[in-house]
Amino acid sequence: MGEGPAVRPSAAITPVQQMLASGSGAVLTSLFVTPLDVVKIRLQAQQAPLYKGTDIKLFIIYFTCYDQLRDFLRYSMGYQGDHIPLIAGGLARLGAVSVISPLELVRTKMQSRKLPYSELMVCIHSAVAQDGWLSLWRGWGPTVLRDVPFSALYWFNYELVKAQLCEWYRAPQTSFTISFTAGAVSGAIAAILTLPFDVVKTRKQIQLGEMEALGVVSVKKPSSTWNMMRNIWIDMGYRGLFAGFLPRVIKVAPACAVMISTYEFGKTFFQERNLNQARCGL
pLDDT digits over 120-160, tens only? 677 677 767 776 777 777 767 777 888 899 999 999 999 99
Report residue 227's pLDDT band, with 50, 70 and 90 as the boundaries: confident
pLDDT at 5 over 50: no
pLDDT score, position 55: 46
| DSSP-assigned letters across all residues of 146-192 | HHHHHHHHHHHHHHHHHHHHHHHTT-SS--HHHHHHHHHHHHHHHHH
pLDDT score, position 140: 78
At the top level of CATH, the class of 15-266 is mainly alpha
Report residue 215's pLDDT band, with 50, 70 and 90 as the boundaries: low
pLDDT at 169 over 60: yes
H helix runs in the chain, sequence order: 15-45, 59-71, 83-113, 120-131, 140-168, 176-193, 195-214, 225-236, 238-241, 245-281
Taking the model in full, what pTM does it have?
Answer: 0.73
